[in-house]
Structure 1
């Protein structure tokens, strides 16, 4: 069982805040995990190629604006990278964020009835189809099929030492949070607990188990928004 290493505080290279110099988790150097990521991402990109046109048309008909939503996230050891999702909100969603109450606790933002989410966007989120473009991030090694949810800049700037330990692994398309409550988990500290639980439990075949559970959760619409 993997034990979380001692970490030290260092000055961030990208901001005036302090973050942790994280010790890489054994999963990062696992050849099996990387092979699984490559195979899984190729399958996911094939699905993306098949569904791209109908999803793109549905997004355009439902709401004017771009097909993709692009955002900078933070991954392994706090390294920034860009993700793309199928757009599930109106184009000026960030400007309207202040009008939406946060129903979650801590460094996450959730609202079950967020008016910024479009009709097709609600369907894409509940089925996780909005995540399909991120298989590219998995293929190039920025993400993994299984890991932790990649945080945004406004989240990591408030991280404490415990929170930074989440980033000992690559961010994932799925993980403990997604199969243990999904959108029903609205406490950030509980999400951190689940992320650290993954690090302690991890062994190569454990990823396959979580992927199987993810399919069950998605098709069963368990914990969906």
Structure 2
């Protein structure tokens, strides 16, 4: 992952700022110790107060960074994941997922289609006017059956991609809404497409929060073929 990719991660930016604040807190600690030695207690108290402020801010930003693991800044259209499908048996698939930073993961899916869900974090008006871009993360991928009865009775597969666990910002927003007044959570529209053997798909997220899944040309031709051909 290069620096351009890293700087699209709010976790990275917040961690950098938290690190700078910790360095400032350390500088205030050294200055306070020096003034104590020189018996300049009022000045030392001022540096101690700044030390506490910088340290608390660093802890808050560090905690926020942990709650935003897996999120990225959302541009006009952000590539979310590339999907390559291989059939194992009827309605059983091996998928290779490739993220924009080149990381790959193999998962097993049951069904006729794949469905991808993403979460978009939008901000309320003051933060939007300040130019704060929306954030997004891939939430899950699941199998989907064309037949509604099979959807209710056949094996279901869901792969969760959350990295922050119970400390995810959305969970924290639900538990402590007053602590995150500027956060407005929006769940992006789920996108699904039929699976075909050897299929290749690109999934992107629009700035509106809508997911778009696109097969490549060869995959589209196979999807469009009538059954049995």
TM-score by length of 1: 0.20
> 1 or 2 for the larger relative contact order (CA 8 Å, sep ≥6)?
1
TM-score by length of 2: 0.20
* Structure having the larger proportion of residues in helix: 1
